[in-house]
Structure 1
């Protein structure tokens, strides 16, 4: 193409001898400018294409992260629901009009499990990379807003669960330093220690301890359920939106 323009430029220059060198110089400048513009256009196209490939790969990776997270959530939710219901059933038994001190001792000594579970280790590497590289800003306003709102809400819910977990751990530490319990094999301390601990106990302290720790466990499992259910439902919606975006833009 440059040769084509060069031939035209030479013809124009030859038609007017006095202006030949001026036209020749201007023609060279025009050719250089055209060449630069073409090179820039090709470079910009290549860079845009590389960016689009990075975005597509990131969205696919983000989708895979969300799919794996939903699998973990589905496994965890039944456990959370089961232990939440168990905790509520124990609280209900103590709250019955015919409940006695023996009811409370039976629950605290043999049935109540003060253990808790750690939060699911979600994979946020892809989301963090999208933010750090600025690629998230290249997405449509709708998808960008959905992704950011999802992770911001998720992080907020997880932070709340973590705070309640820390408070609950403090309650549990005080509990296990005062009472024994045999609901789990790992905490089975044997008949001697168990009998000595429960021989002369403060019933008022035992009642207050059960009230405090079971209430914190209720809050902890309620907040955990809320986070898991939000993550599960919102992940499904976000996966569908990512699929639609990839199909529309890249297919």
Structure 2
């Protein structure tokens, strides 16, 4: 093709047809420019297709994380609610007008279990990958805002739970250094230790210690419930939003 155009140019020069030569040269330049623009456009299309493919893959991974987290929450939330209500029932019994020292001793020695561990480790790899790769910035503004709002709210609540958990564990360490509590799979101190610990205890100190740690546990449960319920409720709408974008890109 190049030899063909070169031959035409040489013939026009030999025939001294300068004006036609100039027009032809300009036309050839225009064709070259058009060819370059077409090549660039094709390259842009290919890059856009690759980006969209990577984005769809990332969104599917994010959806998988959200679904798995929702299943974890649905599995653990009933137990969290039960433990919260149990802690509240013990506090209510202690606050009743007819409560006695025997009530305090029965609850703290046999019924109250201060142990607590956050039961869920969430999947955030897909969200972190979206940010690390910059793919979150190429999606539409509506979905981008939805994802960021969801995780910002989630991380804020997780931070509050983490903070109160540290405070609670400090209270727990002080409590178990002084008192035993009802036997569990992890704690079975036996009758001898139990009887020695509870012999001649300071009832005023026990009452204050129980009030303090049970109140901390109440706050911890409330924050944990709030975080789990937020995640479970709001992840449903986000999953639907992701599905809409995946369907639009198919």
The answer to whether the superposition gives a TM-score over 0.5 is yes
Structure-2 residue corresponding to 1:245: 245
Which ranges of structure 2 fall in alignment gaps of 5 or more residues? Answer: none
Please give the TM-score of this superposition, normalised by the length of structure 2.
0.91
Shift of 1:210: 0.3
Given that 2:183 and 2:189 are in contact with CA atoms closer than 8 Å, whether structure 1 keeps it comes out as: no
Shift of 1:136: 1.3
The count of corresponding residues between Structure 1 and Structure 2 is 250
Q: 1:16 to 1:180 in 2, by over 3 A?
A: same
Determine the C-alpha separation between the residues in 1 that align with 2:10 and 2:57. 50
Structure-1 residue corresponding to 2:157: 157
Determine the C-alpha separation between the residues in 1 that align with 2:30 and 2:3. 12
Further displaced range: 185-194 or 219-228: 185-194
Residues 68-217 of structure 1 correspond to what in structure 2 (within 5 A)? 68-217=68-217
Per-residue Cα deviation, 1:150-192 (whole angstroms, up to 9, x for no partner)? 0000000000000000000001000110011133132111111
Determine the C-alpha separation between the residues in 2 that align with 1:128 and 1:78. 29
Given that 2:168 and 2:216 are in contact with CA atoms closer than 8 Å, whether structure 1 keeps it comes out as: yes
Shift of 1:25: 4.3
Shift of 1:8: 9.5
Which ranges of structure 1 fall in alignment gaps of 5 or more residues? Answer: none
Shift of 1:37: 1.2
Q: 1:183 to 1:46 in 2, by over 3 A?
A: same
Given that 2:76 and 2:119 are in contact with CA atoms closer than 8 Å, whether structure 1 keeps it comes out as: no
Q: 1:5 to 1:173 in 2, by over 3 A?
A: farther
Determine the C-alpha separation between the residues in 2 that align with 1:35 and 1:132. 36
Structure-2 residue corresponding to 1:45: 45
Please give the TM-score of this superposition, normalised by the length of structure 1.
0.91
Structure-2 residue corresponding to 1:59: 59
